[in-house]
Structure 1
Amino acid sequence: MSQRGDVKMSSKRLSGLVAATFTPLTNDDEINLPVIGPYIDYLVKVQGIRNIFVNGTTGEGMSLSVEERKLVAEEWINKGKGKLDHVIIHVGSLSIKESRQMAEHAAKCNASGIAVISPFFFKPQSTDALVEYLKEVASAAPGIPFYYYHLPELTGVSFRVVELLDGIEKKIPTFRGLKFTSSDLLDFGQCVNNYKDKFDLLYGKDELLLSAMVLGATGAVGSTYNYFGNLNKKMLSYFEKQDYNLAREQQAIVQEFIGYVSSLGFGVAENKATMMLVSGIPLGPPRLPLLKCSEEKKAQILAKLKILGLLN
């Protein structure tokens, strides 16, 4: 264990690939908890992924009730014991009381850490206001690492993160790093340049991962690592060996797939369908207001996966 301020936390850094997990649902729109155990085995044994980010955007966390999110968090943590290295639970909510409640619950369940997205209806009007909000949520789980989840495309909260990080550990002793999901590589690059030795700086745009690694990202959180884990690990291996041409080839495959499916409309529903096509895991449809992926889109996604050689 290591000491930071008055708080003891694990010294183990969060790095490498982190899968932003999907939440399995039944056709009756209920949480399908029994799927999570086999899902973990697939991530570990097939894709080589041992770190996960639960109840985030990919997991439709904001569409689940607080009680559902607790059940999902507990299942991932309990079933992941001895198999997963890090289970980060996203506890963001429009209600700060709900966020604190879920943060406390995650800590009691022995989560590896918690993450929080900015409120996006009543938005913080300044960086200081956002930090105060994050501080309040983090204080409910004072013994585990805390991460800020930066997603300006959905939240509309686009303060420069490099400014938010300035002195944040003095206000939030458990602050460990961030999930940076934005194509603003200028801001991310400055975060890395100033704070790489202090914080875990995880990038969240799968199609730009190689660019982020060049800038010095310590890892990445993304949905495609659920089913393209091996492909991205191969890319990172080439990058570490400084074989940049082969690394670019692997990134190009990911970009080709994401570029194609984005032209079809690549939301959570289509992403979830892709995971089912590749893994065979029954994840079910997304929750309304998201509509399930059409059979026509599924056929197009399947065809592209076959063309790119991405099906076992």
Structure 2
Amino acid sequence: MKHSDLHGVTVATVLPFRPDLTIDWDGYRQIIDYCACPDGIMAVFVNGHAGEGGSLSDEERHEVIVRTRAQIGAKPLLAGIIGHSTAECIRQAQLAEAAGAGCAVLFPPASLGGGASATSRAPVAFVRAVSEAIGIPVSVFQYPLASGFGYAPETLAQIAVVPGVIAIKEGSDTMLAYDENRRAVHNSNPDIAFLPSNYNWFLPQLAAGGDGILSGLASLAPRLLAELWQASAAVDLRAMRAVNERLYPIVRAIYGPAPMIDAHTRIKVGLKALGIIEHAGPRPPLLPVLPEPCDAISATIGAARRAGDIGVADRRTP
């Protein structure tokens, strides 16, 4: 996989579960058919936050990758690596490569939240160690700065020149940090794919400059995000604003209410409202969305469906 393979929309897939908390593979097939296969979706990212990758066993992560690869064909396939140590992340990345993933997306280990992410030494060593242990490229998952896990611009610039790194998933959650990081990364390595991922900031991020979009929201609204990217690639601000107006109510329904940790479960509520999956519940410690927000999401999704912005028209004929 090359950095240029990620110039476009990468969908971070959600993963449905049955009431007994086993994976609903039929529902997952429907999700992939809906959001990963339409034109305008360039790549697929599995086993990340949206896919509740931290709650999955090695065997489940493996099967997610295998099933996704079989369904999406030659599209680039990225896999989240969520571990507590460098050794665990290397093991997960090697398993992902063996299962058919084309890129390992490295989440910062928990120990880098204790201040180690404030300087470049530990993060760069972590990324280098994983990259050297596998034969596929890697991408870095940039956390919101408020989380304590977000990397500084200087750190990202050093990571960008580590052999094997092809992309940065940028989720700093402030426009200033986004622009500072984008400039630092591209000054260090202009070939890195710099991918906006902050749901509240897609319009200004792409207006400032970006190489694609990576988002769990594409699981629910693939057409709108594809249109937004196409308008951005054409440098058409008027068209970008028009798409953003249609996207706004969906963004607020999914990401507006507290707690933010429920956002990916709310996406599943939306997919249930569309008839794509039967159950929207997550795995604990996450909890199902309460009835009142579910009703609000269903109303928003219904309006967007009637407008033709989301819905089964995005789905490929089996």
Query: Scaled by the length of structure 1, what TM-score is found?
Result: 0.85
Measured against aligned partners, the alpha-carbon deviations of 1:180-228 in whole angstroms (never above 9, x if no partner) come to 1122222322333344422010111123112111221101111111121
1:306 alignment partner AA: G
How many residue pairs align between the two structures?
299
Answer with 130-139 or 10-19: which moved more.
Answer: 10-19
Distance 1:168 1:299, change over 3 A: closer
* Residue in structure 1 matched with residue 272 of structure 2 by the alignment: 276
> 155, 159, 164: which one pairs with 1:164?
155
Over the residues paired in the alignment, what is the CA RMSD in angstroms? 2.5
1:187 alignment partner AA: A
Q: Which has the higher helix share?
A: 2
1:181 and 2:171 aligned: yes
* Residue in structure 1 matched with residue 61 of structure 2 by the alignment: 69
* Residue in structure 2 matched with residue 107 of structure 1 by the alignment: 97
CA contact (8 A) 2:12 2:46 kept: yes
Distance 1:293 1:227, change over 3 A: same
Query: Scaled by the length of structure 2, what TM-score is found?
Result: 0.84
1:90 and 2:83 aligned: no
1:101 alignment partner, SS class = helix
C-alpha separation in 2, matches of 1:135 and 1:283 = 40
1:239 and 2:232 aligned: yes
* CA shift for structure 1 position 48: 4.1
* CA shift for structure 1 position 29: 0.6
CA contact (8 A) 2:27 2:276 kept: no
Segments of structure 2 that go 5 or more residues without pairing to the other structure are 312-318
1:249 and 2:242 aligned: yes
C-alpha separation in 1, matches of 2:233 and 2:217 = 21
1:166 alignment partner AA: A
* CA shift for structure 1 position 155: 4.6
Percent of aligned pairs sharing the same letter:
22
> 297, 302, 307: which one pairs with 2:303?
307
Distance 1:75 1:98, change over 3 A: farther
1:285 and 2:281 aligned: yes
* Residue in structure 2 matched with residue 15 of structure 1 by the alignment: 7
> 38, 45, 48: which one pairs with 1:56?
48
* Residue in structure 2 matched with residue 220 of structure 1 by the alignment: 213
1:139 alignment partner, SS class = helix
Distance 1:53 1:118, change over 3 A: same
Measured against aligned partners, the alpha-carbon deviations of 1:283-310 in whole angstroms (never above 9, x if no partner) come to 5410011111233322211112233434
C-alpha separation in 2, matches of 1:20 and 1:63 = 16
CA contact (8 A) 1:19 1:52 kept: yes
C-alpha separation in 1, matches of 2:166 and 2:81 = 15
1:90 alignment partner AA: G
CA contact (8 A) 1:53 1:88 kept: yes
C-alpha separation in 2, matches of 1:163 and 1:227 = 34
- For 1:128-143, list aligned pairs within 5 A: 128-141=121-134, 143=135
CA contact (8 A) 1:192 1:215 kept: no
Segments of structure 1 that go 5 or more residues without pairing to the other structure are 1-8
CA contact (8 A) 2:144 2:172 kept: yes
Distance 1:45 1:149, change over 3 A: closer
C-alpha separation in 1, matches of 2:204 and 2:126 = 31
1:24 and 2:16 aligned: yes
* CA shift for structure 1 position 122: 5.7
Answer with 26-35 or 196-205: which moved more.
Answer: 26-35
